[in-house]
A = this chain, B = another copy of it.
Amino acid sequence: MRRMLAGVTTAAGIIIGDEILSGKFSDENGPFLIKRLRELGVDLSRLSVVADEMDEISQEVRRCSEAFDLVFTTGGVGPTHDDITLESISRAFNEPLELVPELHRILLARWPDGPPEPALRMARLPRGAELIWEGDTRFPLVKVRNVFIFPGVPYLFRRKFEAACSRWVGQAISTCRIHLHAAEVDIADALSQAQDRWPDVSIGSYPKRNDGVWSVIVTLESRDEKALREAHEYVQDSVPDTTSA
């Protein structure tokens, strides 16, 4: 069970795009976010894939922005009709879209006679948006309140994320695993007692089936190394037939 700890940075990821929900493309951005936030020591508390629907996006952004420290969105920021992330975030925070002069200048460099309307869509941001220029991408990363707005193309998302990620470094999390040849029901009491005794350690138990044989993987994790060690020893001593992994 996850514990919300003082001083711990929490985050939500919002993957925007029908193409994921319909199975046309498999989601690469969610797994990347899970992996990198973990490495950075940030607690990902929620990850959702939402459709290209204004209400869905704006409600999800508003809820996550209120509940968590950081929100990462990917997708829906290009020039086509199905790119409605900026408009949805504008609606979520009631901050109207405004043409941003710095972005307009980038477009004018390419279209000196005036950028076409689809391109202009990318230069209109919710009022109060910040531009983050780290990295060598042509367009900056956009931030509105605590929401970082990334493109959905995995290559661009990863590049922009890596360029800016030093700002999200949190406190490292340590993990250990115990592989048990036991039924979950027979170890439930011991795990429950360990969880009560070391509330800062997250303890999880996951049955696994391999070649028709069931076993259980118990995971313990914490930012408190001492508590983690103690809980690990306690669990090992109080459950049957353990093989640490």
Q: What DSSP secondary structure best describes chain A's contact surface? A: mixed
Given contacts A34-B21, A204-B18, A1 and B185 within 8 Å (CB-CB): no
B38–A22 CB distance below 8 A: yes
* Contacts of A176-228 to chain B: CB distance below 8 A: 184-185, 187-189, 191-192, 195, 202-209, 219, 221
Complex interface: chain B residues within 8 A of A82 (CB): 1, 195, 203-205
Residues 1-35 of A, flagged 1 when their CB comes within 8 A of B and 0 if not, give 11000000000000001111111111100110011
Given contacts A21-B44, A23-B38, A1 and B205 within 8 Å (CB-CB): no
Complex interface: chain B residues within 8 A of A23 (CB): 34-35, 38
Complex interface: chain B residues within 8 A of A48 (CB): 46-49
B21–A78 CB distance below 8 A: no
Bound-complex Cα distance A46 to B175 (A):
31
A25–B206 CB distance below 8 A: yes
Complex interface: chain B residues within 8 A of A209 (CB): 153, 155
Identify the interface centre among A47, A152, A185, A221: most chain B CB within 10 Å of its CB. A185
**Interface magnitude class on chain A:** 35 or more
B118–A185 CB distance below 8 A: yes
Given contacts A47-B48, A48-B47, A153 and B208 within 8 Å (CB-CB): yes
| Residue A102 interfacial (CB < 8 Å) | no
| Number of copies of this kind of chain in the complex | 2
- Which listed residue, B56, B80, B84, B188, touches A184 by the CB 8 Å rule? B80
Q: Would you give the shortest CB distance from A221 to chain B, in whole angstroms? A: 7
* Contacts of A130-179 to chain B: CB distance below 8 A: 152-153, 155, 173, 175
Given contacts A1-B52, A78-B207, A80-B191, A47 and B21 within 8 Å (CB-CB): yes
Bound-complex Cα distance A188 to B184 (A):
54
Q: List 14 A-B contacts (CB under 8 A).
A: A1-B18, A19-B219, A21-B45, A21-B46, A24-B221, A26-B31, A45-B56, A48-B48, A79-B188, A81-B191, A81-B192, A82-B203, A116-B189, A153-B206
Instruction: Point out residues on A near B: beta carbons under 8 Å.
Output: 1-2, 17-27, 30-31, 34-35, 38, 44-53, 56, 78-82, 84, 116-119, 152-153, 155, 173, 175, 184-185, 187-189, 191-192, 195, 202-209, 219, 221
Which 4 A/B pairs are nearest by Cβ-Cβ distance?
A118-B188, A48-B48, A81-B192, A47-B49
